[in-house]
Amino acid sequence: MLGPVNLTSLGIGAIIGAGIFVLTGQAAAKYAGPAIVYSFILAGLVCAFAGLCYAEFASMIPISGSAYTYGYATLGEFVAWIIGWDLILEYLFAASTVAVGWSGYVVSFLKDLGVVIPAAFTYAPYNHVTPPDAQWWNLWQLFAKGWVSTGAVLNVPAMLIVGVITILLVIGIKESANFNNVIVALKLAVILTFIGVGVAYINKGNWHPFVPPAIGPGEFGWSGVLRAAGVIFFAYIGFDAVSTAAQEAKNPQRDMPIGLLGSLAVCTVLYITVSLVLTGIVNYKQLNVSAPIAVAISTLGPSLAWLEYFIKIGAIAGLSSVILVMMLGQPRIFYTMSKDGLLPPIFSAVHPKFRTPWIAQILTGAVAMVVAGLFPIGLLGELVSIGTLLAFAIVCAGVFVLRFTDPQIHRPFRVPAFWLVAPLGVGFCIFLMAGLPADTWARLIVWMAIGIGIYFFYGRRHSKVQQRAAQTSRN
């Protein structure tokens, strides 16, 4: 059984990942400047509300699972489909996003060793710039227009790591608890070392102005802080791992809030400190790269070359484990949805030798490879963030509704002051979503429209629940 310390440690290990190594610098460079620290506080607050609601869901279902599983058991099939389709967006594009960040650190590390990969094979061939005359309601203008060529061919390292991990997952490799603990310790060591060394090299002039003046909607100023909070929400993905352990908590009513809020508090403090050190060492305008911490360390001089190697190796190892976890989770969601009849049976096919959902795994890997090779990290990170925020908003709303529609259901963990926490969770999620670019909204709307179409043309017709209901009515 897990106590509050174990749950807090679990949360810290799950949260520390791609966001801190990859998106922090870009969000500071493009949206918030040094005020990225306010963005982390806001994003952490949203996670606290959503996490408490997620924990109540998890405690009601006596199995470990995803928000899809919880939603199906408590809110019904259609809401579960929406959550599941949204989770596909989260996990699949998150793996691609982290792979692009992994590529940035690997390319930088190899360059230190004298191995230079041509730039044409280390960057996305396309980027997206929203047309200046774009209207928020014109989905075609936002979704399809504005793509520009960068001159690159493909991000080959990003595709390579996704391919390798896909093969490993198909043959059934698993992260052991000991290996995962080593990776978590290494990630924390890298971050604490960066903070400890970097503090001595801070130039306070880089923090002025702390909130850069706005140059457009969502570009610096307080609207930029809001947009950055939505973008770096990616940095908190994984905190819900604490809620999935609700059934193993010694005292869920007491320990779950401690584990959730404790891990969020520790990670928020770490993120704020890293952001301050990062923007203090290097002017925020220079951080729009896929390996911002590596860039900051490289400016400290040859005497700290050893630190640069350590930081990059730690980041590469940590990001590798995150890709593995994301790509391990996605096919399992496919598998569960297929078993419920909402997706074709091929998605639940298990390899006769390796006992893994191999077809779903290969499909996930193939799509993630293409996405990682073609698109820039900023665009991918925004997509993951908006998808995750939508899923959390639905979970918060679901907890609130269930307190009235099924008040007697057993809840080992109950959200304190649910009448306030759940609506605030919904409101803050929508608030952060509102700060994201209009073209990100357009992509989410198109993605969800495709998902709803699949549900009504295939999922609803083949649903095991719908088939049982029809059979019952005939009898």
- Least Cα distance to 136 among 444, 448, 452, 450 occurs for 444
pLDDT at 138: 65
Name residues whose C-beta falls within 8 Å of residue 2's C-beta, 6 or more positions apart in sequence. Answer: 10, 245, 248, 249, 250, 255, 259
What is the per-residue pLDDT across 377-389, written as a single tens digit (0 to 9) for each? 878 888 888 888 9
The single residue listed with the structure tokens 């080992």 is 412
pLDDT at 327: 84
Concatenated DSSP letters of 416-437: TTHHHHHHHHHHHHHHHHHTS-
Exposure on the CB side of residue 417, measured as CA atoms within 13 A = 7
Backbone angles phi, psi at 216, to 5 degrees: 170, 170
- Cβ count within 10 A of residue 405: 11
pLDDT at 179: 62
Asked if 24 contacts 271 with a C-beta cutoff of 8 angstroms, the reply is yes
- Stretches in the chain below the pLDDT threshold 50: 64, 176-177
Distance between CA atoms of residues 372 and 289, nearest Å: 15
DSSP code of 355?
-
- Cβ count within 10 A of residue 250: 12
pLDDT at 276: 93
Distance between CA atoms of residues 323 and 331, nearest Å: 13
Name residues whose C-beta falls within 8 Å of residue 407's C-beta, 6 or more positions apart in sequence. Answer: none
